[in-house]
Structure 1
Amino acid sequence: MKKIVLILMSGLLLLILLSCKRDEHQELEKPTFPFMKVGNQWNYRMITEAGEAEISYKVVDKTQENYFKVLLNFVGSELPAMDHFWYADQQTFTMTTDWPDSNLKFTMLKRDAKVGDSWEYFIPAPLDPEDDDLSGTITYKVVEASTTIQAIGKTFTDVYKVRQTASSHPQFYADYFISHSSGIIKMEGMGYLRIDDEEIVYFPLEWRLKSKNF
């Protein structure tokens, strides 16, 4: 009888230990950026001096390499949707990659990032002098960490403010407000364009989250 009791107790203890290990394993595998999930969509009001428009980002596919295909849609316009490829794993998130042409990706935010953390990348200047793509030193820098922001009637308490700059366009910048749980809540910055093949003109640009489906 004692042997049976000991066997039952040993078996119960083993089950408890296995359960604890399983819970620890599941906790380790909890995604750092859970908003990166196929089907998730963000809708934004895009605000410029010229007026307002609506844009949306929708995650439509995921590859084995943690790259996500995201469609940028200009709502209500005749412009076609544009393919973007974002990246997210347990440590890193970025909206800026060169997938699928190459594995190049620019870190925008890391797990446990701190104010002052920054990531720099170099892009050679384009051969075409009229090519206005950002080049030179591209920098993403954490300006605020674990801050609070309100949007769509909610309060987000896990937001990081990350500033993007580029040495090729000294007046350009983009401040991304990134929630670990919900993604980009808003963006404020200075956009640019070339008018009639003349010099580049800069203008204030903002995205405000209008709604999301998760």
Structure 2
Amino acid sequence: MKKVILIFMSGLLLLILFSCKQDEHQEPEKPTFPFMKVGNQWNYRMITEAGEREISYMVADKTKENYFKVLLNFVGSELPSVDHFWYADQQTFTMATEWPDSNLKLTMLAKDAKVGDRWEYFVPAPLDPENDDLSGTVAYEVIAVNASTMAIGKTFTDVYKVRHTASSHPQFYADYFMSLSSGIIKMEGMGYIRIDDEEIEYFPLAWQLKSKNF
């Protein structure tokens, strides 16, 4: 009986060692959104009826919660950089979060998303009547997958087109053309502004990728 037990224990030990060896050789899971890496920077031409200017987004830091601190810079301007906090894990990506004040995040794109996939949220109206932040029903909807988009002298073929809307501003929309490998290639939509406490005015707005450093 002792011999049988020893053989059994030896076999079990070999099985455990074999399993461990297999685990050691497993490749780490590739990130779903590999463009979210500290140091990555995108430079865009921001185009409005008033003309063009250059803006940039740079991933400055990552927290343990998969939130990334991203700096928005208005190139050539004296305006200070603006802190944004984006989120990316193996399943979802978004540029719309309330980090670090809360863990709230509004999904813009999910892994293996399909045309028609939609993420909808209710955002309370701001208490300050002069605050024109988007509110009400805020939604992101996938309207194209595997789209081809030209920028910086190349064609990106792994592009999702995601439309952003909000019921508080019915004429506002933003169509993001997002490459899984390279991030946002361009944005086309309708921006808005309130001037001198008058009615909100809408205007065509676009970003076009000018360069990136990765």
| Both structures adopt the same fold (TM-score exceeding 0.5) | yes
Measure how far apart 1:155 and its partner are: 1.1
Measure how far apart 1:18 and its partner are: 3.2
C-alpha offsets along residues 145-187 of structure 1, whole Å, 9 cap, x if unaligned?
1111111011111100000000000000000001111000000
- 1:85 partner amino acid: F
Structure 2 Cα separation of the partners of residues 147 and 162 of structure 1: 11
> Could you say which residue in structure 2 is the equivalent of 1:4?
none
> Could you say which residue in structure 2 is the equivalent of 1:200?
200
Structure 1 Cα separation of the partners of residues 206 and 186 of structure 2: 7
> Could you say which residue in structure 2 is the equivalent of 1:18?
21
Measure how far apart 1:203 and its partner are: 0.1
Task: Give yes or no for the alignment of 1:125 onto 2:128.
Answer: no
Gaps of 5+ in 1: 1-10
- 2:21 partner amino acid: L
Aligned length: 199
> Could you say which residue in structure 2 is the equivalent of 1:48?
48
Measure how far apart 1:122 and its partner are: 0.7
Q: TM-score, normalised by structure 1?
A: 0.89
C-alpha offsets along residues 27-69 of structure 1, whole Å, 9 cap, x if unaligned?
xx21000000000000000000000000000001000000000
Structure 1 Cα separation of the partners of residues 130 and 50 of structure 2: 24
> Could you say which residue in structure 2 is the equivalent of 1:6?
none
> Could you say which residue in structure 2 is the equivalent of 1:138?
138
> Could you say which residue in structure 2 is the equivalent of 1:75?
75
> Could you say which residue in structure 2 is the equivalent of 1:3?
none
> Could you say which residue in structure 1 is the equivalent of 2:7?
none
Task: Give yes or no for the alignment of 1:37 onto 2:37.
Answer: yes
- 1:176 partner amino acid: Y
Q: Match of 1:18, SS? A: helix
Q: TM-score, normalised by structure 2?
A: 0.89
> Could you say which residue in structure 1 is the equivalent of 2:147?
147
Q: Match of 1:36, SS? A: coil
C-alpha offsets along residues 59-92 of structure 1, whole Å, 9 cap, x if unaligned?
0100000000000000001110000000000000
- 2:100 partner amino acid: P
Measure how far apart 1:25 and its partner are: 4.5
- 2:76 partner amino acid: G
Task: Give yes or no for the alignment of 1:179 onto 2:166.
Answer: no
Structure 1 Cα separation of the partners of residues 122 and 63 of structure 2: 26
Aligned sequence identity (%) = 78
Gaps of 5+ in 2: 1-13
